């Protein structure tokens, strides 16, 4: 089984400016952060780099959605306990419910403040 990479957050966000901002905020808070712009790229990263401490994934990605990525992570025998936080600008109960059904650990609604982002990460990474 792969060892988790301590304090490393994998950010899966297709909007480049948003991805850069999330990575910068996390780094400023003392975390390591890596950005990927699609579910497919994130999956490739996971297979080659190992387990991050947390995956933060946007639901609306080009190609596979963040929910697809979450489902694939949950189906992987070594990764089923990896915390996955879904991010979306849709704050309907149905979206939260669906994210949880796909195995999401938590749900962060956009727009969020830098503090909300850091608080969410601290909940799972410490």
The string of DSSP codes covering 45-82 is: HHHHH-B-SEEEEESS-SSS-HHHHHHHHHHSTTTTTS
- Residue 99 structure tokens: 């994210």
Q: Report domain extents, the chain.
A: 8-121
- Residue 80: which of 21, 8, 2, 19 has the closest Cα? 2
Task: Write out pLDDT tens, residues 83-100.
Answer: 999 998 877 788 888 899
Superfamily of domain 8-121, CATH level 4 = Response regulator (3.40.50.2300)
Lowest mean pLDDT among 41-55, 80-94, 99-113: 80-94
Provide the pLDDT for residue 3. Answer: 57
Task: Write out pLDDT tens, residues 57-75.
Answer: 999 999 999 999 999 999 9
CB 82 within 8 A of CB 42: no
26 vs 15, 65, 69, 70, CA distance in Å? 17, 23, 21, 21
């Amino acid at each position: 089984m792969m060892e988790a990479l301590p304090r490393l957050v994998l950010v899966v966000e297709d909007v480049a400016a948003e991805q850069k901002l999330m990575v910068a905020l996390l780094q400023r808070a003392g975390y390591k952060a890596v950005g990927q712009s699609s579910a497919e790229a994130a999956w490739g990263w996971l297979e080659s780099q190992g387990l991050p401490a947390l995956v933060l994934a946007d639901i609306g990605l080009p190609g596979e959605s963040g929910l697809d990525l979450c489902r694939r992570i949950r189906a992987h025998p070594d990764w089923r306990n990896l915390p996955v936080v879904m991010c979306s600008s849709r704050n309907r109960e149905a979206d939260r419910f669906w994210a949880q059904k796909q195995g999401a650990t938590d749900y962060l609604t956009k727009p969020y403040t830098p503090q909300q982002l850091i608080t969410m990460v601290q909940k799972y990474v410490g």
